[in-house]
Chains A and B, each alone.
Chain A
Amino acid sequence: MDTLRAGISDVVNTLNKLMGNSTDPDEQEQIQKVLRVLFMLWEEVIRQEIDSSTAKYKAALDALSKAEKTAQDAIKDINKVADAIETAVKAAKAVDKIVKVVADVFA
C-alpha cells in the first residue's frame, strides 16, 4: 500500500467483505455509510493529481493501513465491527484532509 488509491482500495475491499458477511441490517447500514464516503474519496483520488511527498499523505497511508488491519480483524471476530468502522472513519478523515471533498459528511 504505497499510494492512496491502493490504500483506499484495500480498505474498501475488506469493508465490502465485512458488509457482505453480515446479516444484520443495522450493522450493514453502519458499514455502508463509511463505504459511501470512502467511494467518494476514491473517485476524487482518481481525479486529482496528489503530491505524495507531504506529511498528510503519509498520515493518510498509515490511517488506511490501520483501517484495513482492523477490518480484517473484524471479519474474524464479529465483536470488532464497531472498531473497524471507527478506524475506517478516522482513515477517511485523514484522506479528506488531502482531497477536501467530504468534510461536511463528518460534521
Chain B
Amino acid sequence: MLQHNVLKRLVYTILTATALVTLVGCATPSRTQISAFGTASASLADHSKKAYALVDSSTVDRKMYDVASDTKLGPTDSTFQGVFTGPQADALAIRLKLLGKLGDYADALNKLATADFRKDIDAASKDLDAALVGLSQTYKTVSGKASPISDQDFQLIAAAVDAIGTAIVEHKRREAIRMVILQADAAVQDTSKLLKEELGESSSLASFVHENLVYTGNALRLTYNKQRLAAETTFNSRYQMLVQIRQLDEASEASPGFFKNVSAGAGKVGEAHAVLKKAVTKNEFTSAEIAKNIGELVDYAKSVKAFYDSLATTDKK
C-alpha cells in the first residue's frame, strides 16, 4: 500500500476556501493597528512562501504516484526533483527572500510600535533598516526595476527613529512610524502587486498545482482499476483506495481556493499599507477604515495559517 502522507497534507486545503469571515471595522488605538498590520503581514509572508513550496511538493508527489502506478517504471533522480531547479531555483530563492524581507519589515514596524524601552527601539531600528535594505534590493533583482527606497529615504527614517529619544516620547514615536510608512510604501506596494499576480487563483502556478493534484488522483484511479479484478483484493482494500481517491479529489478542488487566499492576502498587505500611509499623511491614525482593512488582513492570514496548522496536525497522527 502506498504511503499517503500527501493525502494528509493536501486534503485540508478545503479549510482555506471557507475560512473567511466578515469583519466589522472599529476605531482602535493607532499603535494597535500598526501592530496588527505587522503581525498579520509577517504571517502572510511566511505562508506565501509555502505556496511556492506547494508547487514543488505537488510536482514530486505527482511523479511518485506516477511511478508507483506503473510497474514498468522505476524511480530516478528526476522523480524527486521539483520544478524549481537550475535557473528556476535562483528565481524561487529570490522570491522567497523577498517574501522574507516583507515579513521582516512588518515585524520590525510592529516592534517599533510596541517597544517600551530605548534599547528595544534601537533593536527595532536595526531590524527595520536591515528589512528595508533587503526588501529594496530583492525587489530590484526580481523586477529589474530601480530600488523603490532611496538612500535619502533611509537617512530620513534613521533620523526620525533616533529622535524618539531615551524616554520614548510618544509623539516622536508616532512621527518615526509615519516616516517609516511613507518611505516604505512604494516597496511594499510593488512587492504586494508582484505576489498577488504571481500566486493568483488563475495564475500559471495555481493551474499547475491543481493539475498535479488531479493527476495524482488519476494515478490512484488507474491503480484501482488494475487491481479491482485481482483475486487478492478485498472489499476493504478497494474501499480504502476509494477513500484516498476522494481525498485527493477534494484537495484538487480546494487548491485554487488556497491560492486565491494567498493572493488576496498579498493584495491586502498593499491595501492595508496604503490606508496606513493615507492615515499617517493626514495624521489620522485611528480611522475606522484602517481598522477594517487591517482586520481583513488579519483574517486572510488566519485562514492561510489554519490550512497549514491542519496539515501539521494531521501529519503527526
Contacts and interface: CB of A to CB of B under 8 A. Distances in A.
Interface of A: 5-6, 9, 12-13, 16, 19-20, 23-25, 28-29, 32, 35-36, 39, 42-43, 46-47
19 contacts: A5-B204, A6-B204, A9-B207, A9-B208, A13-B207, A13-B211, A16-B215, A19-B218, A19-B221, A20-B214, A20-B217, A23-B225, A24-B225, A25-B225, A39-B62, A39-B211, A43-B83, A46-B205, A47-B83
B221 A28 contact: yes
Given A25-B225, A43-B59, A47-B86, A35 B204 contact: no
B219 interface: yes
A67 B192 CA distance: 37
- Interface magnitude class on chain B: 20 to 34
B219 A16 contact: no
Given A20-B214, A43-B83, A46-B88, 13 more contacts: A16-B211, A16-B218, A20-B221, A24-B225, A25-B222, A25-B225, A28-B222, A29-B222, A32-B66, A32-B69, A32-B70, A46-B208, A47-B87
B211 A12 contact: yes
A29 B59 CA distance: 19
Contacts of A13: 207, 211, 214
Contacts of A25: 222, 225-226
Contacts of B207: 9, 13
A16 B214 contact: yes
The listed residue with most A CB atoms (<10 A of its CB), out of B88, B215, B217, B226, is B215
A35 B225 CA distance: 18
Contacts of A29: 70, 222
A61 to B, nearest CB: 15
Given A16-B214, A47-B86, A32 B204 contact: no
Given A25-B226, A32-B66, A32-B222, A42 B217 contact: no
Contacts of B212: 39
Nearest to B207: A9
A48 to B, nearest CB: 9
A9 B207 CA distance: 7
B83 A32 contact: no
The listed residue with most A CB atoms (<10 A of its CB), out of B205, B217, B221, B222, is B222
Contacts of A12: 211, 215
